[in-house]
Amino acid sequence: MSKPKILVARAIFPEVISRLEQHFEVEANQSDAIWSKAELAEKLKDKDGAFTTGGDRIDAEVLAACPRLKICANMAVGYNNFDIDAMTAAGVLATNAPDVLTETTADFGFALLMATARRVTESEHFLRAGKWGKWSYDMFAGSDIHGSTLGILGMGRIGQGIAKRGAHGFGMKVIYHNRSRLDVTLEAECKASYVSKEDLLRTADHVVLVLPYSPASHHTIGAAELAMMKPTATLVNIARGGIVDDAALAQALRDKTIAAAGLDVFEGEPKVDPDLLTVPNVVMTPHIASATVPTRLAMANLAADNLISFFKDKKPLTPLNPAVLGG
């Protein structure tokens, strides 16, 4: 019996390709070419499954060209590249890669928070430009992490990880807002108190965004929300581009409406709002919050496991639209 055909849409670990080749006829993209939507659809039209990353858009237009496609396994916890309704209507299973990146991403969120609060990027640029000639009492004086108030928007696993690091490691007062309140046991573990979004923005010294992207969360932070924040506050986004209005944020940073921002994600990435590139009080990284070798390998293996399990016994590990599996 012939093996199912799958497409691996971006370059991944060679050892994961080797695993997949034991089960599938694999077309891999180890040259890491960036395909247009039409090119992706052309590659997928004779495939039974796909290994995708967050930049590979699967929507009704692509699905219409790919009648054999049965599953797309995302090597990411986020899945805003998937039109889940269209995939469900087409009978195509979607899976993601949650949990395996929680602690690594929480680590990075805290690293970005600290770099932002302590003006690490600004001061490094200053030093590299040869401008450091003397000590001064206010040279790159930032804000404290320890003992400050940490506000978290989005209190899933990663948000909880950041809360625990702040509360237990740095003695921070943690407040959070979420679509639904955590149970009291989880709140106690995180030493976190539930507040309204408005109270969080007005109260927090440091705001960290960890909520999933959806049309409802688009521009959760815009000019009005930034104006609510303290002028000494920082904003960190490790969630998804589009949750922050990047143009409004650039203006707020220029006007010192808030003190600083740390960004790992951007609207329209890999493009970045050019105004963000001209303000000094922002730390920017290219969507690398999960980028350690062990974590990225675990993400790739989970996507592979979903493909293997689906074609073996229709029991994928992390389905997003399990209705397509039937009873």
Positions annotated as catalytic residues are: 240, 269, 287
Residue 107 burial by CB count (10 A; 0-12/13-18/19+): exposed, middle or buried? middle
The two structure tokens encoding residue 279: 């303000």
CA distance 146 to 159: 18
Counting Cα atoms < 13 Å in the Cβ hemisphere of 248 gives 14
DSSP 65-116: T-TT--EEEESSS--TTB-HHHHHHTT-EEE---STTHHHHHHHHHHHHHHH
What letter does residue 225 receive in the DSSP assignment? H
Tell me how crowded residue 12 is: count the other CB atoms within 10 A of its CB: 24
- The shares of helix, strand and coil residues in the chain, as percent rounded to the nearest 5, are 40, 15, 45
Q: How many Å apart are CA 7 and CA 70, to the nearest integer?
A: 12
Consecutive H or E run containing 56: none
Nearest residue to 276 (alpha-carbon basis) of 235, 243, 248, 236: 248
Of 279, 260, 288, residue with least CA distance to 120: 260
